[in-house]
């Protein structure tokens, strides 16, 4: 299938050596249309820094980023047009209902009125948001707001859909619905970059896993190959392998720019 996102030897440093932070250290990553790639790593591993460079919010010091055939570094505005993003922090929609916010984003992204309305109705039903669809944002829970933010990214998906911790604050029942909808987006042809800490649940959805640690790629494989090739005796799944690879809590406690940004 066609490669939608190609990241080659991307490096990004904040501050000057020796005290600066090397947030990304020669990262390579490729995602094809129809794939869900999970980007895993502890806090400060360089995940958000990498995402910001993909969508033109930060410039790499070295390397190349190509999005749907476009040089995303030279043309960040075009990269943002080609990508749909659910950021780690919800977009404020004060005064709007979830239905209205989803519809507005779909129209802003160029969808026809009929297509956006159909897609909005589908997402509200698929995520079980019906009871809150027409309630103003100030009166909905954090989980409902998070689901609405996902729907805003999914209503008119670009060639690349970036989801940064999409299940935060979402209850277990609706998380399952959300994972199914993420899979549906890829099956309909988009490339999905999924940034998550929810390793156990993501394992059921992702086609490939990229593990970042201190800005470097430790692994880039299917969940099955990762478990088979790296799991120690007694490892039961991707979560166990991930913990073994990134190490202890002390190891995962180092700080990069994304922790303080």
Residue-by-residue DSSP string for 151-181: HHHHSS--SEEEEESTTTT--HHHHHHHHHH
pLDDT at 151: 97
Give the CA angle between residues 250, 254, 258 to the nearest 5°: 140
Sheet strands side by side (includes 216-221) = 83-86, 160-164, 191-195, 36-40, 208-213, 216-221
3 state DSSP class of 255: coil
pLDDT at 235: 61
Say how many residues make up the chain: 261
Half-sphere exposure of 180 (CA within 13 A, CB side): 12
What is the mean pLDDT of the segment spanning 148-173?
Answer: 95
What is the mean pLDDT of the segment spanning 130-158?
Answer: 95
Name the one residue in this structure whose structure tokens are 């470097």: 216
Residue 65 CA to residue 10 CA, distance in Å, equals: 8
> How does residue 259 score in pLDDT terms, banded at 50, 70 and 90?
very low
pLDDT at 117: 97
What's the predicted TM-score (pTM) here? 0.90
**Is residue 16 over pLDDT 90?**
no
Residue-wise pLDDT for 182-207, tens only, equals 999 999 999 999 998 888 888 889 99
Half-sphere exposure of 212 (CA within 13 A, CB side): 31
The DSSP call for residue 7 is E
Residue-wise pLDDT for 41-83, tens only, equals 888 899 999 999 999 999 999 999 999 999 999 999 999 999 9
Average pLDDT of the chain?
90
> How does residue 150 score in pLDDT terms, banded at 50, 70 and 90?
very high
Give the CA angle between residues 230, 227, 172 to the nearest 5°: 135
Higher per-residue pLDDT: 148 or 232 = 148
Residue-wise pLDDT for 201-258, tens only, equals 888 899 999 999 999 999 999 998 988 887 655 567 888 888 888 874 444 444 444 4
Residue 226 CA to residue 73 CA, distance in Å, equals: 31
> What six digits make up the tokens of 69?
């055939």
pLDDT at 233: 59
User: What percent of the chain is modeled with pLDDT above 70?
Assistant: 92
In order of 40, 62, 69, 243, the CA distances from 66 in angstroms are 21, 13, 6, 31
pLDDT at 184: 96
Among 118-122, 147-151, 164-168, which is the least confidently predicted range? Answer: 164-168
What is the mean pLDDT of the segment spanning 84-94?
Answer: 88
Name the one residue in this structure whose structure tokens are 């999970």: 38
Name the one residue in this structure whose structure tokens are 């160029």: 110
- What are the structural domains, with CATH classification, of the chain? 3-252 (3.40.50.300)
The DSSP call for residue 214 is T
Residue-by-residue DSSP string for 54-122: HTTSS--SEEEEEETTEETTT-HHHHHHHEEEE-SSPPP-TT--HHHHHHHHHHHTT--HHHHHHHHHH
Residue 160 CA to residue 54 CA, distance in Å, equals: 10
């Amino acid at each position: 299938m066609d490669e939608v996102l190609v990241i080659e030897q991307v490096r990004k440093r904040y501050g000057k050596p020796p005290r600066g932070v090397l947030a990304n250290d020669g990262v390579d990553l490729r995602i094809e249309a129809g794939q869900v790639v999970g980007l895993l790593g502890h806090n400060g591993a360089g995940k958000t820094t990498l995402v910001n460079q993909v969508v033109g919010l930060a410039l790499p010091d070295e390397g190349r980023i190509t999005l749907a055939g476009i040089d995303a570094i030279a043309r960040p505005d075009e990269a943002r047009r080609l990508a749909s993003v659910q950021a780690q922090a919800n977009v404020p929609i004060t005064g709007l209902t979830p239905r209205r916010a989803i519809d507005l984003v779909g129209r802003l992204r160029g969808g026809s009125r009929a297509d956006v309305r159909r897609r909005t109705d589908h997402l509200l039903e698929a995520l079980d948001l019906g009871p809150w669809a027409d309630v103003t944002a100030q009166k909905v829970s954090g989980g409902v707001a998070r689901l609405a933010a996902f729907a805003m990214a999914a209503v008119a998906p670009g060639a690349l859909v970036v989801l940064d911790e999409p299940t935060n604050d979402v209850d277990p029942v609706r998380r399952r619905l959300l994972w199914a909808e993420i899979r549906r987006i890829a099956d309909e042809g988009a490339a999905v970059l999924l940034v998550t800490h929810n390793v156990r649940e993501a394992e059921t959805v992702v086609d490939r896993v990229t593990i970042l640690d201190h800005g470097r790629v430790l692994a880039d494989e299917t969940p099955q190959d990762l478990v088979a090739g790296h799991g120690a005796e007694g490892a039961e799944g991707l979560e166990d392998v991930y913990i073994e690879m990134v190490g202890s809590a002390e190891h995962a406690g180092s700080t990069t720019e994304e922790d303080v940004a």
